């Protein structure tokens, strides 16, 4: 049962935590914290750390825990915020620091079990992410978890209990005593970032990992290539980026990929790389024109692809098979040390393109379906040979009727019915209905319309308009329409930032804080403890506060609402 009994010095409903824990009890006493506080880790060994501790690299467990400790100090003392927006104007809400003030005395991290050996690349559900946190009124803090990742989540919650004084005069929590017991509803909680339509520097991807971890999300799905550009360096095939990247400065080297994986592993965020195919591959034609059918058909590209440039890997070609084998033999062994998954794409394959494919010359599904089965069987066998678990988009299962290995994770996007249909066939599913969790929607068209047609497209909305605001994202239930006996097959879901109109300049704002809404649905569930839809009225002050936290931690998240709405209760509710 969920117990939320928060009482405070001020009459404002500041509740601090996002996503909301399974159970959360807080009091109204003030505790201060300063840089002299030590954090003791009791795992296989016992070590004590202080402010300025740096990442201990002896084992992955040590790396994850010490990185979390290092970040806890940095967050509390260097990246905190002054919460004036959550108190009525002209009130003195800050506690007074006096000689009798109570400080946090000790922070103890207890790991009561051994990490699984694949803690740096856990399989979904393979790591226990639960934690408990207690903070007594006299300043004794204990976080207990079975895994290093659980301790990381506990420390993340801990930092959310503290605020910065206006004058820089200290860091305090108004919530003691605190008791939290918490674990995730779904094991796969992800964000899909597209780096083909527009490139994102590595630092942007690191920032996404930071923000995902602050929200207890655990997957960065990296849609790294697509038809518009191929930014991923493949050492055995340098021509792919030499010819297919937009410009030589917009490439990801093998060490970039590895450093993003490592950065994620330390923060409990596994990087899952997708090479979308056989559709969405026109950028391969810049270096290997012989492999691509229907490349750059103009002006009616839309007959052959969802977006320009048209072009798809040929479906019945030994040369394509050899290309894929060489590509994956280069990439997969490099991903494998820090990833348990590989995404084989498979969305929006255009049948008309195969009319122009000299190895097929047909658009009949009866001709194409067996060829697609053979094509995907080859891909699957190679992914399996590296011990990776495959993902595909829903079309491979639901439109192409392919028989897939039973461990395949099917990523749905088209509807709630897709989730139900996927699990109905016995496959594991990811949710992420585009009408709720596509972050690119509602920006308007990026296509230009000739004068003769423009009027017919006015006011130039995109296919998935309107903009999916956080309330809409928050109203999405990944289990909607899924029979009770199959909910265990829904691993979780992802929000998606397709990037036709999102680059480094607006990435943070396009993703945050809206993805926090998905994070709470995935961690806490779409329904509250009494089975009701979660309330916007209680979520919005917490989300507004989470936004301030993200900004303080370097993420340019958009405002949730004007300060007026958060300053005094629920005056903006209707």
Nearest to 469 by CA among 353, 380, 561: 561
Separation CA 221–CA 506 (nearest Å): 19
Separation CA 359–CA 338 (nearest Å): 37
Least distance between ligand NAG and beta carbon 222 (Å): 24
Q: Is residue 486 a contact residue for ligand NAG (CB under 6 A)?
A: yes
Nearest to 511 by CA among 408, 446, 566, 439: 439
Q: Is residue 6 a contact residue for ligand NAG (CB under 6 A)?
A: no
In the 8-state DSSP scheme, what is residue 557? P
Kindly state the number of chain residues that form the binding site for ligand NAG, as judged by CB under 6 A. Answer: 43
* Residue placing its CB nearer to ligand NAG in the complex, 90 or 99: 90
Least distance between ligand NAG and beta carbon 514 (Å): 17
Q: Specify the residue for token string 């996927």.
A: 422
Least distance between ligand NAG and beta carbon 457 (Å): 24
Both tokens assigned to 455: 């009027």
Q: Is residue 213 a contact residue for ligand NAG (CB under 6 A)?
A: no
Residues 125-154 that bind ligand NAG (CB under 6 A): 130-132, 144-146
- CB of 345 within 8 A of CB of 280? yes
* Residue placing its CB nearer to ligand NAG in the complex, 36 or 45: 45
* Residue placing its CB nearer to ligand NAG in the complex, 28 or 501: 28
Q: Is residue 530 a contact residue for ligand NAG (CB under 6 A)?
A: no
- SS3 letters across 477-498: CCCCCCCHHHHHHEEEEEEEEC
Separation CA 166–CA 85 (nearest Å): 12
Nearest to 432 by CA among 486, 346, 483, 491: 491
Residue of 6, 464, 568, 572 interacting with ligand NAG (CB under 6 A): 568
- The residue annotated as part of the active site, out of 348, 435, 500, 558, is 348
Least distance between ligand NAG and beta carbon 480 (Å): 5
* Residue placing its CB nearer to ligand NAG in the complex, 398 or 507: 398
Q: State how far Cα 184 lies from the chain centre.
A: 14
Q: Is residue 369 a contact residue for ligand NAG (CB under 6 A)?
A: yes
- CB of 44 within 8 A of CB of 59? no
Write the DSSP assignment of 109-153 as a string of letters. Answer: EEE-SPPPTTTTSPPTTSS---EEEEE-TTSEEEEEESSHHHHHH
Q: Is residue 40 a contact residue for ligand NAG (CB under 6 A)?
A: no
- CB of 469 within 8 A of CB of 539? no
Residues 385-444 that bind ligand NAG (CB under 6 A): 399-401
Separation CA 177–CA 29 (nearest Å): 7
Q: Is residue 28 a contact residue for ligand NAG (CB under 6 A)?
A: yes
Tell me, yes or no, if 348 is annotated catalytic.
yes
* Residue placing its CB nearer to ligand NAG in the complex, 91 or 236: 91
- Residue window 66-85: x/- pattern of binding to ligand NAG, with contact defined by CB under 6 A: --------------------
Query: How many CB atoms are closer than 10 A to CB 5?
Result: 8
Least distance between ligand NAG and beta carbon 36 (Å): 18
Residue of 6, 352, 472, 552 interacting with ligand NAG (CB under 6 A): 352
Our CA angle for 119, 124, 125, nearest 5°, is 85
* Residue placing its CB nearer to ligand NAG in the complex, 445 or 568: 568
514-524 helix and 202-214 helix, angle to the nearest 10 degrees: 50
- CB of 509 within 8 A of CB of 556? yes
Residues 248-277 that bind ligand NAG (CB under 6 A): none
- CB of 118 within 8 A of CB of 126? yes
Least distance between ligand NAG and beta carbon 555 (Å): 27
* Residue placing its CB nearer to ligand NAG in the complex, 55 or 506: 55
Separation CA 454–CA 460 (nearest Å): 8
- Residue window 441-480: x/- pattern of binding to ligand NAG, with contact defined by CB under 6 A: ----------------------------------x-x--x
* Residue placing its CB nearer to ligand NAG in the complex, 276 or 477: 477
Least distance between ligand NAG and beta carbon 304 (Å): 10
Q: Is residue 509 a contact residue for ligand NAG (CB under 6 A)?
A: no
In the 8-state DSSP scheme, what is residue 198? S
Phi first, then psi: what are they for 112, rounded to 5°? -95, 10
Q: Using CB atoms within 10 A of its CB, is residue 226 exposed (0-12), middle (13-18) or buried (19+)? A: buried
**Helix (H) or strand (E) run with residue 517 in it:** helix 514-524
Q: Is residue 56 a contact residue for ligand NAG (CB under 6 A)?
A: yes
- CB of 134 within 8 A of CB of 176? no
Q: Is residue 47 a contact residue for ligand NAG (CB under 6 A)?
A: yes
Residue of 3, 96, 113, 537 interacting with ligand NAG (CB under 6 A): 113
* Residue placing its CB nearer to ligand NAG in the complex, 329 or 348: 348
Report in angstroms the alpha-carbon separations of 115 from 128, 129, 270, 348, 437: 9, 11, 16, 39, 32
- Residue window 300-319: x/- pattern of binding to ligand NAG, with contact defined by CB under 6 A: ----------------x---
Report in angstroms the alpha-carbon separations of 574 from 234, 534, 536, 537: 55, 16, 11, 9
* Residue placing its CB nearer to ligand NAG in the complex, 238 or 569: 569
Q: Is residue 379 a contact residue for ligand NAG (CB under 6 A)?
A: no
Residue of 2, 322, 365, 504 interacting with ligand NAG (CB under 6 A): 365
The residue ranges that bind ligand NAG (CB under 6 A) are 7, 9, 27-28, 45, 47, 56-58, 62, 88, 112-113, 130-132, 144-146, 316, 351-352, 355, 359-360, 363, 365, 367, 369, 399-401, 475, 477, 480, 483, 485-486, 526, 533, 568-569, 571
Residues marked active site are found at 348
């Amino acid at each position: 049962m969920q117990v939320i009994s928060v009482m405070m010095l001020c009459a404002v409903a500041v509740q601090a935590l996002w996503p909301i824990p399974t159970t959360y009890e807080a009091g109204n006493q003030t505790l201060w914290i300063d840089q002299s506080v030590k954090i003791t880790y009791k795992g296989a060994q016992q070590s004590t750390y202080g402010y300025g501790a740096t990442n201990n690299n002896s084992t992955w467990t040590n790396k994850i825990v010490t990185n979390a400790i290092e970040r806890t100090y940095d967050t509390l003392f260097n990246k905190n915020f002054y919460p004036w927006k959550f108190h009525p104007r002209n009130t003195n809400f800050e506690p007074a620091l006096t000689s009798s003030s109570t400080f946090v005395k000790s922070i103890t991290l207890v790991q009561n079990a051994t990490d699984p050996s694949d803690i740096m690349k856990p399989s979904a559900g393979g790591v226990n992410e639960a934690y408990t946190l207690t903070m007594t009124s006299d300043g004794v803090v204990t976080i207990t978890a079975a895994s290093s990742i659980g301790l990381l989540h506990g420390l993340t919650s801990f930092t959310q209990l503290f605020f910065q004084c206006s004058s820089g005069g200290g860091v305090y929590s108004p919530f003691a005593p605190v008791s939290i017991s918490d674990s995730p509803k779904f094991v796969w909680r992800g964000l899909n970032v597209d780096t083909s339509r527009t490139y994102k520097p590595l630092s942007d991807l690191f920032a996404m990992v930071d923000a995902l971890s602050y929200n207890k999300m655990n997957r960065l799905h990296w849609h790294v290539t697509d038809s518009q550009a191929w930014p991923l360096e493949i050492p055995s095939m340098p021509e792919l980026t030499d010819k297919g990247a937009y410009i030589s400065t917009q490439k990801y080297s093998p060490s970039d990929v590895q450093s993003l994986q490592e950065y994620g592993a330390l923060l409990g965020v596994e990087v899952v790389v997708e090479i979308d195919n056989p559709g969405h591959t026109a950028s391969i034609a810049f270096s290997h024109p012989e492999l691509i059918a229907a490349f750059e058909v103009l002006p009616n590209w839309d007959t052959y692809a969802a977006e320009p440039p048209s072009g798809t890997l040929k479906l019945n070609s030994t040369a394509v098979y050899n290309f894929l084998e060489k590509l994956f033999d280069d990439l997969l062994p490099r991903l494998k040390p820090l990833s348990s998954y590989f995404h084989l794409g498979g969305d929006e394959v255009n049948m008309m393109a195969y009319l122009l494919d000299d190895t097929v010359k047909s658009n009949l599904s009866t001709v194409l379906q067996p060829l697609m089965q053979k094509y995907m069987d080859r891909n699957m066998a190679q992914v399996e040979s590296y011990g990776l678990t495959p993902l595909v988009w829903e079309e491979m299962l639901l439109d192409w009727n392919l028989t897939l290995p039973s461990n395949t994770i099917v990523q749905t996007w088209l509807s709630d019915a897709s989730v139900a249909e996927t699990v109905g066939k016995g496959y594991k599913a990811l949710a992420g209905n585009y009408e709720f969790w596509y972050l690119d929607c509602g920006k308007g068209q990026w296509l230009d319309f000739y004068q003769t047609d423009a009027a017919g497209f006015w006011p130039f909305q995109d296919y998935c308009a309107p903009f999916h605001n956080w309330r809409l994202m928050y109203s999405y239930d990944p289990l909607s329409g899924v029979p009770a006996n199959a909910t265990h097959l829904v691993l979780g879901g992802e929000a998606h930032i397709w990037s036709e109109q999102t680059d480094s300049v607006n990435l943070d704002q396009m993703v945050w804080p809206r993805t926090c809404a998905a994070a709470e649905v995935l961690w806490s569930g779409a329904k509250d403890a009494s089975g009701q839809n979660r309330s916007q009225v209680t979520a919005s002050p917490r989300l507004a506060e989470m936004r301030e936290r993200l900004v303080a931690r370097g993420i340019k998240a958009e405002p949730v609402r004007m300060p007026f709405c958060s300053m005094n209760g629920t005056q903006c509710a209707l």
